[in-house]
A and B are shown apart, each in its own frame.
Chain A
Amino acid sequence: MLSAGFVHFVEYELQVIALAWLGILYALKIFQLSRLPMFREKAPPKGSAGAGVLRSYSNMLIPWSMESSKKHFWRWVEFGAYHVGAGVAILNTFTSPFIPGMMTESVRWIFAILIAPAFLLGIAKFVRRIIQPEMRLVSTPDDYFAVVSVELFFFSAIMALILNTPEWRTTYFLITAAFLFYVPFSKISHYIYFFFAAIFTGSRYGYRGVRPEGRQAE
């Protein structure tokens, strides 16, 4: 039996500490990035840098814009479902402790149903990483651990949402805290760089009139 004090500590204080840790390390990463020189185009433009940046940010919302998502449409669906699940699982770390009134049984079920496909897709990702030679070649222990840790996070979130017991809630928040402590050192934080790189790559393509495409590539 878990003491109410411990459950409270894990759900509140520990989350705040873990989030602060993540925030400080991310701020440090962003500070380091922002100090690096950003090479800007200096020639007269052919297109709009801003439009190119917007296009870079919206790339994943337009599956027909990339051959990699057009040819492998299922992969794009997987990507969407996985990230929706991740988003909901993260959202739940805030709503469960801080807005408990919102977490009615039906909302908990909706959250669990949205996270479940992500959990199953995570297993598929792990298997693919092992059996596909191209993926195995580039995978490091960090890659495998990242998938496993996200899977644990998803699984505990689903169990905590459905069963809503102190044991599962504590497990979920302990895993969440461990996850938050680890993320800044892992490839999971790749999205931080995305926001910078999308500006660089998007503005270059936009400025040079390459993107947004005047006509779709066929």
Chain B
Amino acid sequence: MTTAIELAEKELEKKYSKLVGTAASNMCAHCGWCIDSCHVYQATHDPETSPVAKAERIRRVYKKEHDWMSKIFPSWTGAKKLTEEELDKWVKLAFRDCTLCERCVVNCPMGVETPQLISAARAALTAAGKAPEILTQLADMAISKEENAELYRDFFLEQIKEIEKQLQENMKNPDARIPIENEGAKILYVPLSGAHTILPEATIFNAVGESWTMSMFEASNYGVFLGDTAKAKRITERIINEAKRLKVKEIVLTECGHAYTTLRWEAPKWFAGPLPFRVRSILEVLDEYVRDGRLKLDPSKNPEPVTYHDSCNLGRKGGLLEEPRRVIKAAARDFREMTPNRLQSLCCGGGSGLVAISEWSESRINAGKPKADQIRETGAKTVVTSCDNCRHQITELSEYYNLGIKVTSLCELTAQALVLPSVK
């Protein structure tokens, strides 16, 4: 019978075989430049939580098998074999103390990809059956939703009808629609579960007269957080198949950080080439509407100071840095930047699935302290963030640290500023 260690080692080997893993494992000079770039370290000042310390635990296992010197004199380089005890220590290191935010990468003089090592550890833990159960359950649920689509369909349509009624009421337009299974539509919009990622977007699409249809599936992909490429692929495939079936021209993803990087950047690698349609975030679509003058916005409808939190996945990993800012400036009167922002933005502390793991909520809230301080310094009353993970985390940070802010999405802010055409 294959042991947990053997499964973990096999998975690690698979991930290490990629050049970046090898480079990340060998090129760190232990200079310590990355130490205070990590929000977890900033909050705890625990040496074990510095990026180099976290990476080093995994690196030493890699070195035992691959580094010339480590093979002969492991104690000289600190190399060691993977043990059950070591693997258990990795659970918190990989799933709690690192949110794969990549802030350490952009602050490393060598560009060591520490998150790649942590992802490899996540994959190894998942293979060994040691990943947090809730993440596995959420990934499995997404897969079973496709397998039981027919069972789920009626309930889903009923829910959408309810949201559609609300939409018509809000827009004072009985013709406003949330189209489902609209074959040949230009856009397949993929939301998350919950009306907050459907209603504002539907308002905007209806306001500009967009040709769209809404996906039956959610954008989130817990397989990615697990480092489980097979599951991540499977979850992504549901949306790709739906888009192909409906013959849409593009997929537009809701405000969800990891869903964007997954479908926009990672999926083409998994499926060996570009997807047969364009993939964009709703942020890019909003930006286009604003720049083309298709959306009429009144910034005085959002009079209070607003700040923007860059989701690590959308910004540092995804390249969407200016699009949301242009939209906010069009939709709100007083936009204030956090310091630092964009490429150097601090993680909210809840990324990469951590927000779903309730037993670690205390350390998650603690790790969010640097972000809470940053928000407070802006004096903003509204925080816009385009990732549901960040939204949950910042809402909790606001309650815990008494920030007195409202957390909202870019679409909600935009819908609030919308000047609707009068319906005859």
Contact = CB atoms under 8 A, between A and B. Distances in A.
A72 B37 CA distance: 12
Interface of B: 17-20, 22-24, 26-37, 47-48, 50, 52-53, 56, 68-69, 75-78, 105-113, 264-265, 267-269, 272-275, 278-279, 315-319, 321-322, 337, 339-345
B377 to A, nearest CB: 13
5 contacts: A36-B22, A43-B265, A145-B76, A186-B69, A217-B341
A42 B269 contact: yes
A140 B22 contact: no
| Most chain A CB within a 10 A radius of its CB, from B264, B267, B343 | B343
A165 interface: no
Contacts of B337: 218
A155 to B, nearest CB: 21
A37 B17 contact: yes
B20 A135 contact: no
A108 interface: no
Nearest to A208: B319
Nearest to B110: A194
Interface stretch (A9-17, A59-67, A85-93): A59-67
A47 interface: yes
Contacts of A134: 32, 35, 47, 50, 52-53
Interface in A189-205: 190-194, 196-198, 200-202, 205
Contacts of B68: 184-185
B344 A217 contact: yes
A-B pairs, top 8 by smallest CB distance, nearest first, are A193-B27, A209-B319, A42-B268, A197-B23, A217-B344, A68-B107, A208-B319, A140-B78
Interface of A: prevailing SS: helix
Given A42-B269, A140-B78, A197-B20, A190 B26 contact: yes
A132 B32 contact: yes
A208 B265 CA distance: 8
A25 to B, nearest CB: 8
| Most chain A CB within a 10 A radius of its CB, from B27, B56, B107, B108 | B27
Contact of A190 (B22, B27, B273, B339): B27
A5 interface: no
Given A190-B26, A194-B27, A213 B35 contact: no
Given A134-B53, A208-B318, A218 B341 contact: yes
Interface in A146-196: 184-187, 190-194, 196
Nearest to B60: A140
B19 A38 contact: yes
A20 interface: no
Nearest to A44: B274
| Most chain A CB within a 10 A radius of its CB, from B56, B105, B274, B342 | B342
Interface residues of A, number: 62
A196 B113 CA distance: 12
A60 B189 CA distance: 42
Contact of B20 (A39, A59, A71, A192): A39
Contacts of B109: 59-60, 66, 68-69, 79
A211 to B, nearest CB: 7
B111 A210 contact: no
Contact of A56 (B29, B48, B111, B315): B111
A137 B48 contact: yes
A54 to B, nearest CB: 13
Contacts of B56: 138
Nearest to B45: A134
A138 B30 contact: yes
A72 B26 CA distance: 25
B29 A187 contact: yes
Nearest to A75: B33
Contact of A67 (B29, B30, B272, B344): B344
A13 B268 CA distance: 53
A209 B343 CA distance: 11
A46 interface: yes
A211 B337 CA distance: 19
A104 interface: no
